[in-house]
Every structure is written in structure tokens, then in C-alpha cells.
Amino acid sequence: MAENANHPLRWLALVALDQPMLPEFDEVARLVGQSFSEAPEMVVAGSTEALFTCSIGEYTAAVTLVDRPIPWSQLEGPSATAWYWPDAAEQLRDHSAHLLVTLIDEGAQAIKKSTLLTQLVSGVVSASPAVGVFWGPGRLVHPPQAFNEQAAQMSPKDLPLFLWVDFRVERLEPGTVRLYTTGLEALGHTELEVPEYEGVPQTLLEYAYNIAHYQMTQPKFINDGHTIGLTDEVQVVAHHGRSMFDETTEVIRLEFQAAGG
């Protein structure tokens, strides 16, 4: 799938604060350089009391202080479904201000832009009284410490997909769940869906994560009918089709079966 340049929340993150404070550029740059040895050099381009802009290698970024909370309508849904952060709503509901962190889309590869934005957000979080992060492309919320811990482990062969992509697991009936993703489209790939899966939800989550990681790091496109071996016992067949939520959207539906058919 081609990258969707019109994705509404692309290359944007919001950092919720318990008090309005714009971090110093020099401190953010120091923390980014300290945590990510391979990060491009950051150079300040301009600053005011509520904003700084900078270059990150060949890209342009901005961090803006907004002296009011993130609208709760934007956080309520992601907070309610953040299975990995059970008290997200409680932690985020009373924040007083936020930082708008943006990376200008200049046509580079999506993974590279996601990586640079992740590094910048990590530095901003470490230099701020942050209580949470809203990752725009995947419409996800994260606790600050967990965001930084996963960002620190990031590498080209180990992408932090749980930071970038919402792997949503929903129970249909006892013993049966479904899964769908949000955020792969922003990364230039096709969203995944599993309409029905009988088994342990955590196992399905791990399978979907591995398939998404394969999709993003392998040069081969996942074609219709493509079979991927997951374990010695389990394989998945990919089917291109319409989303179970929107008939105008094409997704990759995953069919699990015993290895060997």
C-alpha cells in the first residue's frame, strides 16, 4: 500500500503535562543524544516562550506548549482500550497542559520518520513533567516511562510497534476473540484483521505483532494467499479483502491453521 500523505494525525504526538512547561531545547537535544547514539544532530532554528523549532538531520520538527489539556474526547477512547495501561484514564484525566510535537513530512520513509519522532518525543518526555503520551498516527496513549523504555530498545531490526500501532483485541464470546490494527496505514502498510480466533488472546497478539513486524521489515510484499509460518505447529494465510468495519478499506485478513495446511 502506498503511503497516505493525508493521514490526519501523521507525525504528530501530544505529551500531556501536569503543569505548563516548555522544556529547554538544549536539554531535549542532550537527552536525545544520550539515549540514541545513532540519532541525527539536533540544531535549534528558533524559539519563543511557547515554541521551539529545530532541524533533526535533514528534517524539521517543532515542539509547542499548549496551555490547556488535550481535549478529553481525543483521549477517552484510547485510554479506555489501553489494556497495557489500566489506569490510563485516571492518570490523564486531570492533566493541565500539553506539548504538541510534530515532524514535518518531507517525503522520507515512514519508518525513518516514526523513528525520529519517537526519539524526539522521548527527549521531550524526559525533560518535562509528563504524565502521558498520545501517539497520533496510531491513536494510542502510553505512560511516559514505558514509552521511553520501549524507545530505548528501538533498532531497525526491532521496531517499537507497540508504541506506533494499536493492536486491538476484542472478546466475541468465551474463548473467541477478534483483532484489528490501527497505525500500519500511516506507516505505509496495510492494516491487519482477524475476524475470529479461538485461543489465548495474548498468543493472537504476539502472532499479529510478529506478522506486522515481518510486513514492515521484509522487502517482500504480503500477497493474497501468502502463507507465513509462525511456529512448527501454526501458520497463517493472508487474504486481501475489505475491512469488517469499512467496505471501502482494504485490509489483510489473517487465517490461522495448522502448519502444513
Per residue in 14-45, pLDDT (tens digit) is: 999 999 999 999 999 999 999 999 999 999 99
- How far apart are alpha carbons 232 and 258 in whole angstroms? 9
- How far apart are alpha carbons 94 and 89 in whole angstroms? 9
Residues 195 and 120 in one domain: no
Residues 253 and 176 in one domain: yes
When divided into structural domains, the chain yields a total of 2
- Would you say residue 190 lies in a domain? yes
For the stretch 134-188, pLDDT in tens is: 999 999 999 999 999 999 999 989 999 999 999 999 999 888 999 999 999 989 8
Q: What is the mean pLDDT of residues 106-125?
A: 90
- Would you say residue 160 lies in a domain? no
Q: What is the DSSP string of 79-148?
A: HHT-TT-TTHHHHHTT--EEEEEEE---S--HHHHHHHHHHHHHHHHHTTTEEEEEETTTTEEE-HHHHH
CATH number, domain of 100, equals 3.30.310
Question: Which residues constitute the domain of residue 207?
Answer: 165-258
First to last CA, the chain: 28
Question: At residue 3, does pLDDT exceed 70?
Answer: no
Q: How confident is the model at residue 4 (pLDDT cuts 50, 70, 90)?
A: very low
Other CB atoms within 10 Å distance of the CB of residue 116: 22
Residues 150 and 178 in one domain: no
- Would you say residue 23 lies in a domain? yes
Residue 44 cell numbers, joined: 535549534
Residue 32 cell numbers, joined: 536525545
Of the residues 122, 155, 188, the one at which a domain ends: 155
